[in-house]
Amino acid sequence: MWHCYLNSMTLVQEFGRPDIFLTMTCNPNWLEIKEHLQPGEDAHNMYDLLIRAFKSRLSILTDKIMNGRIFGQVVSMVHVIEFQKRGLSHTHFLIILKPDYKFLTPEAYDRMVCA
């Protein structure tokens, strides 16, 4: 995988506006977290476990976006991980797609958007 450490504004100047803004949040109910908790333990008190599970899922998602092309062929992608006090880790992606894969209609976005 090719890595380039540019800021978001440089990417926009080079490749155009982002097509996708994607957020991924750690979920304390993920199986890989639940199966490592002792009876009575709360996932929020096991921050190291939450971080490891989040990092693992983040790597899988990044691979699916870049190599699995779940949104199409990516020209550029940048993401920022946020660790909030008393909150769960989350990341925000900005993804720029190649022209042939851009979403041009509301229906195209509706096929991809879920909450």
| pLDDT per position as a tens digit, 46-103 | 888 999 999 999 999 999 999 988 999 999 998 999 987 667 899 999 999 999 999 8
- The per-residue pLDDT for 59 is 96
Ranges of beta strands (E only) in the chain are 20-25, 74-82, 90-97
Separation between Cα atoms, residue 23 and residue 85, nearest integer Å = 18
Query: Who contacts 68 (Cβ-Cβ below 8 Å, separation ≥6)?
Result: none
What does residue 61 show for φ and ψ, rounded to 5 degrees?
-65, -45
Least confident of 20-29, 79-88, 101-110: 79-88
